Amino acid sequence: MTMQVHGIHHVTAIAGDPQANLDFYTGVLGLCLVKVTVNYDDPHTYHLYYGDDGGRPGTILTFFPWPGAPRGRAGTGQVTVTAFAIPDESVGFWVDRLKAHKVEYAGPSQRFDEEVISLRDPDGLQLELVSGARVSGATPRRANAVPATHAIRRFQGVTLTVEGYERSAGLLTATLGFREAGARSNRFRYSVGEGEMQSVVDLLCLPSGPRGRVAVGTVHHIAWRTPDADAQRAWRATIAGLGYNVTPVIDRTYFHSLYFREPGGVLFEIATDPPGFGVDESAGELGRRLALPGWLESTRGEIAKGLPALRGPAGQRFP
């Protein structure tokens, strides 16, 4: 049977001020705060997870906030745009909402068969709200800043900016199971999955574009879904067999991960769906406390002293 990733698992980016980041994604975009933990490689830095109320793969945008760090530069070798799917009837709502919150935006504009609103977060990270992505009506979620009928549903896809697209396209189609889905000028679209599980990747070919620099306001990596550990081991063998440098499988508590760079330089991850964000918090309590893996619990007090104070959308206080 042909192997195939099951769409986007999560996208991880770099932020500056953690409070401004949290206020924007929960207060303006209406995402749920799913998990507050730390960067396992730098435990004195938060790792903030946003998504739908269940923290389902395909909805999760995560951030490492580095207060005072320099701005990055979007360019080749990066995920340069992260796009969210919204219901078709919600375009006007989101235009009005962005205006009310004084968020600069462009559009709506047409791309393929979609309407696209372009905007940036407080750190300059490039985002899109996209209708026409086959999303259903209202879905159950916690009461928050955005009515359920207009809420962001999931990721629609990402834009990868690359110097040349052929080798990146070859990895997507021949190895990861994507299919060609259209082209416009120097934008080449690929999709994977079906219906509401579909994710798209646009390869934006910019041979003379500047090389991206990962820092505040840029994406660090994109993760693709795989259903379990057995499938992940098969992916590792396949990717290593193609000559890519692949990390060992790493336990991230809420999923297991492996990493490699695709031919255009973008850092790819393949992450398991299980065990999910409910392993250390109940469904109704997601994002309500500072969650630490077992091996860091003995240093909780020291870690807490090094983290900036943070106020959650439900009034909870961190650390």
**Segment 28-69, tens digit of pLDDT:** 999 999 999 999 999 999 999 999 999 999 999 999 999 999
C-alpha–C-alpha distance, residues 262 and 252, integer Å: 21
Predicted structure pTM score: 0.95
pLDDT for residue 141: 58
Please name each of the domains of the chain with its CATH number.
8-318 (3.10.180.10)
- Of 126, 202, 205, give the one whose Cα is nearest residue 162: 205
**Segment 60-94, tens digit of pLDDT:** 999 999 999 999 999 999 999 999 999 999 999 99
C-alpha–C-alpha distance, residues 289 and 218, integer Å: 27
Tokens of 166: 């052929």
Class of residue 317 by CB neighbours under 10 A (exposed 0-12, middle 13-18, buried 19+): exposed
Q: Are strands 60-65 and 8-15 parallel, antiparallel or unpaired?
A: parallel
Percent of the chain with pLDDT over 70: 96
Give the residues across from 225 on adjacent strands.
Answer: 271
Residue with tokens 């004084």: 102
Q: Are 39 and 18 in contact (CB under 8 A)?
A: no
pLDDT of 140 above 70:
no
pLDDT-derived band at 145 (thresholds 50, 70, 90) equals confident
C-alpha–C-alpha distance, residues 110 and 245, integer Å: 38
pLDDT for residue 227: 96
169 CB contacts (<8 Å, ≥6 apart)? 188, 190, 203
**Segment 226-255, tens digit of pLDDT:** 999 999 999 999 999 999 999 999 999 999
Tell me the mean pLDDT in the region 125-138: 80
pLDDT-derived band at 143 (thresholds 50, 70, 90) equals low
**Segment 101-120, tens digit of pLDDT:** 999 999 999 999 999 999 99
Class of residue 96 by CB neighbours under 10 A (exposed 0-12, middle 13-18, buried 19+): exposed
* Phi, then psi, of 229 in degrees rounded to 5: -65, -35
Q: Are 62 and 45 in contact (CB under 8 A)?
A: no
C-alpha–C-alpha distance, residues 253 and 34, integer Å: 14
Class of residue 228 by CB neighbours under 10 A (exposed 0-12, middle 13-18, buried 19+): exposed
pLDDT for residue 142: 60
pLDDT-derived band at 138 (thresholds 50, 70, 90) equals very low
Tokens of 147: 């009515």
Class of residue 27 by CB neighbours under 10 A (exposed 0-12, middle 13-18, buried 19+): middle
C-alpha–C-alpha distance, residues 316 and 26, integer Å: 13
Tell me the mean pLDDT in the region 285-292: 95
**Segment 194-232, tens digit of pLDDT:** 877 789 999 999 999 999 999 999 999 999 999 999 999
pLDDT of 133 above 80:
no
